[in-house]
Amino acid sequence: MDQGSGVLRSVTSGRPAGSAAALRSTRPHVTVRGLSKTFGTSRVYDRFDLDIPRGELISIFGPNGCGKSTLINLIAGLIPVDAGEILFDGQPLRDIKFGYVFQNYREALFPWLRSIENIEYPLKLMKLGKAERRERTERLVAHLGVKIDLKRYPYELSGGQQQLVSIMRALVVDPEILFLDEPFSALDYEMTLFMRDQLQRIFVETGTTTVLVSHDLEEAVYLADRILLLSRGPARIADFVPYEAARPRSDATLSEAEFVRVKAHCLEVFQREVRKG
How high is the pLDDT of residue 18? Answer: 41
CA distance 191 to 183: 11
CA distance 123 to 169: 9
How high is the pLDDT of residue 10? Answer: 37
How high is the pLDDT of residue 2? Answer: 41
Does residue 155 surpass a pLDDT of 60?
A: yes
How high is the pLDDT of residue 23? Answer: 43
How high is the pLDDT of residue 19? Answer: 42
What is the per-residue pLDDT across 171-221, written as a single tens digit (0 to 9) for each? 898 898 999 999 888 778 888 888 888 889 889 988 899 999 999 999 999
Q: With contact defined as beta carbons under 8 Å apart, do 87 and 30 qualify?
A: yes
How high is the pLDDT of residue 167? Answer: 87
Residues paired with residue 59 on neighbouring β-strands, in sequence order: 212, 227
N residues, the chain = 277
How high is the pLDDT of residue 26? Answer: 67
* Ordered structural domains, the chain, with CATH: 3-12+29-276 (3.40.50.300)
- C-alpha distances in angstroms, 207 versus 14, 16, 21, 80? 16, 10, 7, 28
CA distance 180 to 211: 6
What mean pLDDT value characterizes the chain? Answer: 87
Mean pLDDT computed over 156-167: 88
What is the per-residue pLDDT across 120-132, written as a single tens digit (0 to 9) for each? 999 998 899 999 9
CA distance 96 to 121: 18
- 188 C-beta neighbours (distance < 10 Å), count: 12
Query: How far is CA 141 from its chain centroid?
Result: 19
Residue type, 261: R
How high is the pLDDT of residue 150? Answer: 94
Does residue 14 surpass a pLDDT of 50?
A: no
Angle of helix 159-171 relative to helix 115-125, nearest 10 degrees? Answer: 20
How high is the pLDDT of residue 277? Answer: 66
